[in-house]
Structure 1
Amino acid sequence: MANQTKKMTSAIVVRALRVWSGLFLLAFVTSHLTNLSLGLISINAMDVARPYLSGVWTGDITGKILMSALVTHFFLGLWAVYNRPTLRTNAQDIVQLVSGMIVVPLLATHAVGIGMLSSAGVDFGYADTIRLFWLQLPTIGLMQVILLAVVWVHGCAGLFTWLRSKEGAGRILNWLYLMAVAVPVLALLGYAEAGREMLVAGRDGAQLAFSNELPPNVEVPFALIKEVTNGIILGSLLLSGLTLAARFIRFASQKTQEVTLVRDDGRDLPSTSALSLLDGFRRNGQPHANLCAGRGRCGTCAVRIIDSDFPLPSPTELELRTLHRIGALEGVRLGCQLKPSGGRVTVRALYPADYTFEDARPVEEPAEEEAMG
């Protein structure tokens, strides 16, 4: 029991670090997108708001926190991939998984570039940024747009996964769905309008299209920034590849027993003792409710055990807490936490695969079953 408590505590700490580092990075991206959207007014409006939006992340303290959050989120994401029993899952999880392995390196290049410019004493405002991306290096500008899309998709997917496992979050999610579309669209429109303003200024020979002279003894370290950012990208991709390779080796060398899962429709679903019931369903392409993405928190993956060839492992402390919270009766287990030791296991899902907390009640109502007993 003490070992289970230690493991659960470690899992909670890791989960909290992933959530809060992710929220911090999402706040960073949101402030930048909001700043970009002001390009719908003018480039000057973007620069006026910069100290209060994107500029707050260039300070000594916030900059260090930002880099710490980037590193923490990236390595915890790799750790989650390494421990993931199966990569066969739904489309949303795949998008979040793939984007998570590339989003932090891409975001790090932006943060490192801004930080190095600030350290060199270069005040690189939005007028300079738009001039660079639209008049001098449009390819890099396109890469920034791609970065924006990837970061935003990953952040929103993580936020929605975290919130949808919480009862009463339905009203919040409705507003967040609207913001998830409106914020990047307004930002892209602002970026495009600012680019149009800069192109017009370049055509007309206006002062806006020409760089301001740098202070004496100040040099923009573009070559060093490129070298550092390329190193970050290559190093991150290498770590991602090594993580996938280590995960393959780990599961290929793991000794497992064959398991056959039988669910509501009566079909045999081949699985192994290394997989939870939920992962076994995923492996066979069978949808199953799991609002918290298999973290043992929401209880929507709960199943009633109909039959099992072998005794099932005892529930962990995390599973017991969740089962108690949802008022589960005897014989009910969490599909994301239960790993059968072998043989044939027959279960009945308590919740439909598309269940949300806005739905009225599960497939199997405990109160009715208890009354019938």
Structure 2
Amino acid sequence: MRREKTTMPLAIVVRALRIWSGLFLLAFVTSHLTNLSLGLVSIEAMDRARPYLSGVWTGQVIGTVLLASLVCHFLLGLWAIYVRPTLRTNTQDIVQLMTGVLVMPLLATHAIGISMAANAGLEFGYVGTIRLFWLGAPTIGLLQVIMLSVVWVHGCAGLFTWLRSKESASRLLHWLYLLAVIIPVVALLGYAEAGREMLAAGHNGAVIAQSPAIPENVVVPFAQIKQITNIVIIGSLILAALTFAARLVRLTLQTTQDVFLVRDGGPQMTSSSALSILDGFELNDELHANLCTGRGRCGTCAVRIIKSEFPLPSPSELELRTLYRIGAPSGARLACQVKPDGGRVEVLAVYPADYTFEDARPLDEPSASEAPA
């Protein structure tokens, strides 16, 4: 398939921003979890590693980039929810969607509070932090654990969805699945062991070195930090609720036509012009390959258009790039990107319904689903 060279469209820029801002936030959480895991050694080991792990995020420049990534990723996630034609999808996609809504309110307290305090000149150490979370305010400590867990689940779900769309990463996923479990488990064990060390020191009357006191020339605006984080938390939750409400209004007011899909000469399926061909298959509980869960990245949902009662919308640059990359045959379209305007549409699947990149084969070799009826 030939592809004309064009300027990069907004959809591709938005997709890139969402991916890279998500990867940046995942790196933030990974460094913190790695730092927590050192609690299995000692609180002192956590503090020695802090400048190279969690401490690197407290700088003014990287802190600003972190906040920008958080806001960008959250808003793009809400936009993705708003434009989705249906929330009917797989479990992993639902988990990613729901945890994505919670990322901003959960991460705001840590990212905003730590950044503002660090900019004011206050240095944080794990001795004082563990003492606060286990002895002074255990509720805050529990919230921090929940925050890291939710962001980790969201980040891993997004990372795996992104990597599944890349044939070169198919064998790497097995190891990443293992790391996705090991990293948070070891981090929680380290956090618990650090807390046990702190509690034991308190019960035995031992003195664990205090964190440096706040210097007299450092004024930390705690009241302002609390006010700003509360505004961000409440505002982000309201914005998420408004997004779902706006989406419901949009779908209610949307005028649609019936679409009748036939794949591989099988029975006719009823869908809607508001849905993509892939959404139509899922609406009818018809399994169809889509390793990237309908994001237009992997190309495994590709179909050959045999017949369409009405002209189909022209492919976007995003779709053209993916079709070009996978070497799709003439007349192929991505089922996740095509929304028929109505009528009957007959297609042949390019890939088997249970296809993975481990089953890689040339596209000019017919699949079992393409065999004549």
Is the pair's TM-score, using the shorter chain for normalization, greater than 0.5? yes
**Counterpart Cα distance in 1 of 2:144 and 2:317:** 45
Task: Report the equivalent of 2:318.
Answer: 318
Task: Report the equivalent of 1:255.
Answer: 255
Asked if 1:23 is matched to 2:23, the reply is yes
**Counterpart Cα distance in 2 of 1:132 and 1:6:** 55
One-letter amino acid matched to 1:57: W
**Counterpart Cα distance in 2 of 1:364 and 1:259:** 29
Task: Report the equivalent of 2:110.
Answer: 110
Task: Report the equivalent of 2:74.
Answer: 74
| Contact 1:47–1:127, Cα closer than 8 Å, also in 2 | yes
Task: Report the equivalent of 2:48.
Answer: 48
Task: Report the equivalent of 2:169.
Answer: 169
Q: Larger deviation: 314-323 or 169-178?
A: 314-323
Task: Report the equivalent of 1:128.
Answer: 128
Q: CA deviation at 1:7?
A: 9.2
- CA deviations over 1:116-163 (Å, ceiling 9, x no partner): 222343222111111011111111111111111111011111111111
Unaligned runs of 5+ in 2: none
Listed as ranges, the matches of 1:84-99 within 5 Å are 84-99=84-99
One-letter amino acid matched to 2:97: L
RMSD (Å) for aligned C-alpha atoms: 2.7
**Counterpart Cα distance in 2 of 1:5 and 1:86:** 32
One-letter amino acid matched to 1:244: F
| Shift in CA distance, 50/84, structure 1 to aligned 2, threshold 3 Å | same
Q: CA deviation at 1:230?
A: 2.0
**Counterpart Cα distance in 2 of 1:68 and 1:48:** 28
SS of residue in 1 equivalent to 2:208: helix
Asked if 1:195 is matched to 2:195, the reply is yes
| Contact 1:350–1:362, Cα closer than 8 Å, also in 2 | no
Q: CA deviation at 1:250?
A: 1.6
| Shift in CA distance, 344/127, structure 1 to aligned 2, threshold 3 Å | same
Unaligned runs of 5+ in 1: none
Q: CA deviation at 1:267?
A: 3.8
Task: Report the equivalent of 2:341.
Answer: 341
**Counterpart Cα distance in 2 of 1:347 and 1:333:** 10
| Contact 1:37–1:190, Cα closer than 8 Å, also in 2 | yes
Task: Report the equivalent of 1:295.
Answer: 295
- CA deviations over 1:24-57 (Å, ceiling 9, x no partner): 1111111111111110100011111111111111
| Shift in CA distance, 98/5, structure 1 to aligned 2, threshold 3 Å | farther
Task: Report the equivalent of 1:181.
Answer: 181
One-letter amino acid matched to 1:163: L
Q: CA deviation at 1:369?
A: 12
Q: Larger deviation: 115-124 or 58-67?
A: 115-124
| Shift in CA distance, 129/346, structure 1 to aligned 2, threshold 3 Å | same
**Counterpart Cα distance in 2 of 1:309 and 1:128:** 69
| Shift in CA distance, 86/369, structure 1 to aligned 2, threshold 3 Å | closer
| Contact 1:262–1:346, Cα closer than 8 Å, also in 2 | yes
| Contact 2:256–2:272, Cα closer than 8 Å, also in 1 | yes
| Contact 1:8–1:318, Cα closer than 8 Å, also in 2 | no
- CA deviations over 1:204-227 (Å, ceiling 9, x no partner): 122228666433355655444333
**Counterpart Cα distance in 1 of 2:293 and 2:6:** 22
| Shift in CA distance, 352/369, structure 1 to aligned 2, threshold 3 Å | closer
TM-score normalised by structure 2 residue count: 0.90
**Counterpart Cα distance in 1 of 2:142 and 2:108:** 17
**Counterpart Cα distance in 2 of 1:273 and 1:362:** 32
SS of residue in 2 equivalent to 1:71: helix
| Shift in CA distance, 351/138, structure 1 to aligned 2, threshold 3 Å | same
Q: CA deviation at 1:296?
A: 2.3
Q: Larger deviation: 214-223 or 183-192?
A: 214-223
Task: Report the equivalent of 2:305.
Answer: 305
One-letter amino acid matched to 2:119: S
| Contact 1:351–1:362, Cα closer than 8 Å, also in 2 | no
Task: Report the equivalent of 1:355.
Answer: 355
Q: CA deviation at 1:291?
A: 1.8
- CA deviations over 1:235-262 (Å, ceiling 9, x no partner): 0000011111111212221222111223
One-letter amino acid matched to 1:239: L
- CA deviations over 1:167-217 (Å, ceiling 9, x no partner): 121232222112111111111111000000000011112222866643335
- CA deviations over 1:98-133 (Å, ceiling 9, x no partner): 111111221121111112222343222111111011
| Shift in CA distance, 363/263, structure 1 to aligned 2, threshold 3 Å | farther
| Contact 2:270–2:284, Cα closer than 8 Å, also in 1 | yes
| Contact 1:352–1:363, Cα closer than 8 Å, also in 2 | no
| Shift in CA distance, 325/114, structure 1 to aligned 2, threshold 3 Å | closer
One-letter amino acid matched to 1:278: L
Q: Larger deviation: 137-146 or 351-360?
A: 351-360
SS of residue in 2 equivalent to 1:271: strand
| Contact 2:134–2:199, Cα closer than 8 Å, also in 1 | yes
| Contact 2:258–2:271, Cα closer than 8 Å, also in 1 | yes
Listed as ranges, the matches of 1:267-286 within 5 Å are 267-286=267-286
SS of residue in 2 equivalent to 1:171: coil
TM-score normalised by structure 1 residue count: 0.90
- CA deviations over 1:38-89 (Å, ceiling 9, x no partner): 1010001111111111111111111111111111111111111111111111
| Shift in CA distance, 213/326, structure 1 to aligned 2, threshold 3 Å | closer
Task: Give the aligned length.
Answer: 368
Q: Larger deviation: 41-50 or 209-218?
A: 209-218
| Contact 1:263–1:346, Cα closer than 8 Å, also in 2 | yes
Q: Larger deviation: 289-298 or 264-273?
A: 264-273
SS of residue in 2 equivalent to 1:358: helix
| Shift in CA distance, 369/147, structure 1 to aligned 2, threshold 3 Å | closer
